Structure 1
């Protein structure tokens, strides 16, 4: 298969009717590593909104159980990518996400902003560090995919186009980014988690490279000292060099999903599997009047089976 044949196939699909299939091909075949990094940055970015960062600090999930929280988030979101919105696995994953969110008083504006980061940050990451950029056709599909996910989560007033998602994100960040002590603790814990994935002597280098990828608005919100120009050039240059190498590789023939990522470490039962219904947290209470799930997904408890040979579909 020539390098751009999958893109030709994507361009023949309908960006709305086939949005899940297009997103699956993009995330699991074209850019699995890049989408993982971009979505990590998307979620990290939300900490700089004090109402979000302070809530995450109070739950202590990202400070005391960082690895498991990371794993659960990746596995739940990717269950929908792998199996689709109408699958039992996808419905179970969305129900779990909704049950966790409905345990807290999270505003619709904050929920919509987080959704916007999932649409915008992968595009911006690929513009800077991808082996190719997303086409307008693909951006329409990505926007429709996340609009559908947002509807399943009960989010209201969701943007329709990529441009609307981007404008919503930029406007919200300009109005709400700011300092919060709890959010800084969550940020530090996340940077420490990322550094823990590599040999200990490399931890300072990984943390420095992570900071070098942050824009000035994030650095200011968390009160980090700006990285040196050399650190930024080296980090971003290395990512661009990687992209040139990937462009020369043959296209991926098997999908790569989040459960295959080496960063997923919480489940010693691999390769036996995990239950999607058991992922995440199970808060004892939720705000008065808040439903466990805002939309009527079926109660499913599906196994997220893993192949005995890690890395196989």
Structure 2
């Protein structure tokens, strides 16, 4: 398979009809590492909003079960898209996620913002550091996937296009980003998770490298200092060198397993495994579009 074969395939698809398949090709074949980095930055952006980070800090999920909390967030998104957003698998994942969120009073605008970070975060990272930029079909598929997830979760006022998701995110951050000690505590817990993936001697360097890639409004909201220019330049050049190397490599071959692998579940997982321990004993809530 040629390096651009899947891109040609994606360009022949309809983003509204095929958004789940386009998302699968993007996240598992075209940009598996970059997509994960974009989602990781999306998590950090959530912590720049005190109303969100205070809730996360109060639950102590990242402090006590940080890797599992990280994995579960990624896996919920995967489960909702893996067989298509109209599948029973997607509906089951949405019911389980709604059950977990139902314990807390979360404003609709916060749901919208968190959703927007998962749409905008991967696109901005890939356009900045991926081996190629996203095409129009991929951008539209990201937005359509966000819309489908919002529909299943009962989130209102969802943007209709990628550009509107981006506008929503930027306006919300301008209004809501502010420093709070909870922001830094949750961010520190997340950095501990991310750096633990690397050998111990490299962890301080990985943490500094990661901070160098964050924008100044987010760093201020998290309570971290801006890194020196030479550190930022070195980090960006290293990632662009990686993208140049990936561009020369052949396309990722073969078919991948039907379920993602996660550090918290070395022997696989079931939907019921996802989420905090208390969520497994409560009955499933119906989706907003289901009759009671």
Q: Is the TM-score greater than 0.5?
A: yes
1:141 deviation in Å?
1.6
Structure 2: 5+ residue runs without aligned partners? none
| Offset from partner CA, 1:7-51 (integer Å, 9 cap, x none) | 111111111111111111111111111111101111221011111
In the aligned structure 2, how far is the partner of 1:82 from the partner of 1:37? 20
Equivalent residues in 2 for 1:274-313, closer than 5 Å:
274-283=269-278, 292-295=285-288
In the aligned structure 1, how far is the partner of 2:80 from the partner of 2:22? 13
Give the direction of change, closer, same or farther, for the CA distance of 1:257–1:134 in structure 2 (3 Å limit): farther
Q: In the alignment, is the contact (CA less than 8 A) between 1:56 and 1:183 conserved in 2? A: no
In the aligned structure 1, how far is the partner of 2:155 from the partner of 2:256? 29
Equivalent residues in 2 for 1:1-313, closer than 5 Å:
1-255=1-255, 260=260, 264-268=262-266, 270=267, 273-283=268-278, 292-295=285-288
How well do the aligned residues superpose, as a CA RMSD in angstroms? 1.9
SS at match of 2:82: helix
In the aligned structure 1, how far is the partner of 2:96 from the partner of 2:102? 10
Q: Scaled by the length of structure 2, what TM-score is found?
A: 0.93
- The aligned residue for residue 308 of structure 1 is none
- The aligned residue for residue 311 of structure 1 is none
Q: In the alignment, is the contact (CA less than 8 A) between 1:100 and 1:282 conserved in 2? A: no
Structure with more helix by fraction: 2
1:281 deviation in Å?
1.6
Give the direction of change, closer, same or farther, for the CA distance of 1:83–1:223 in structure 2 (3 Å limit): same
Size of the alignment, in residue pairs? 287
1:137 deviation in Å?
2.2
Structure 1: 5+ residue runs without aligned partners? 285-290, 299-313
Q: Scaled by the length of structure 1, what TM-score is found?
A: 0.87
1:88 deviation in Å?
3.2
